[in-house]
Amino acid sequence: MDKAQQGASKRNAGYHAAEMIKDGMVIGLGTGSTVFFAMERLGERIVKDGLSITGVPTSYQAAIRARRYGIPLSSLDEHPELDIAIDGADQADPDLRLIKGRGAALLREKCVCDAAREVLIVVDPTKMVETLNAPVPVEVLPFASAPVSRRLAALGASPVLREGVKKDGPVVTDNGNFILDCDFGAIMDPESLETAIAAIPGALECGLFTAYREKITVIVGEGKGCRVVSLH
């Protein structure tokens, strides 16, 4: 799939998700290029159709983009329960288990995913895989990055501290933490791995999303239209 085809697929997925949003909803807004297409279409619906919604962004970047599209924003403090969330994924398997976090917003994304009654995951076809095998991002307390890295290595990873682009030193998340990208190879038991990572002191969250399959709908953008995958 070339970049033009991938861009068209992302737009189709994002626009499809935006059309599923109803007036009055409070929605979680994920981080990433496919979600931004959804925001673009939501902005159009606000202007043309008078759509009234409130967004809860998962990152500074998502908040900046949402404001650009005229989407009113709030927070989980004001709305601890969300009607729906729109987010992307690095990978999704047939059981709708996900790897997320390429944009370093995984901790807030998981909080929003947990708060939402329904979750729309928008992807292009390259993100659909039979077995999860992408690096798993782990948000880690800077104070504990070395011991957490050792524990992750004991689980079979090759942890790499994510370095900044156009910035010297590590990526710093919106929460003030570091990201360790952990290559586990093919992940045959994502649920057990997520549980094991969560048990490491100083590992604040990981990019494996295995607990939300029943409320996830994956919208796969294709050249013409979308394919919708869900377990419900």
Binding residues for substrate, as ranges, are 31-34, 87-90, 100-103, 127
Question: How many Å apart are CA 158 and CA 52, to the nearest integer?
Answer: 46
Q: Rounded to the nearest 5 degrees, what angle is found at the Cα of 162, between the Cα atoms of 157 and 166?
A: 160
DSSP string for 75-87: -TTT-SSBSEEEE
- 3-state class of 97 per DSSP? coil
Beta strands in 11-168 (DSSP E): 26-29, 54-57, 84-87, 91-92, 98-99, 119-123, 136-140, 159-161
The span from the CA of 72 to the CA of 99, in Å, is 28
Q: What are phi and psi of 91, to 5 degrees?
A: -150, 150
Binding positions: 31-34, 87-90, 100-103, 127
Residue 128 is given by DSSP the state: B
**Catalytic center residues:** 109
Beta bridge partners of 119: 85, 216
Residue partners of 41: CB distance under 8 A and separation at least 6? 14, 15, 18, 19
Q: How many helices (H) and strands (E) does the chain have?
A: 6, 13
Decide: 219 and 1 in contact? Cβ < 8 Å. Answer: no
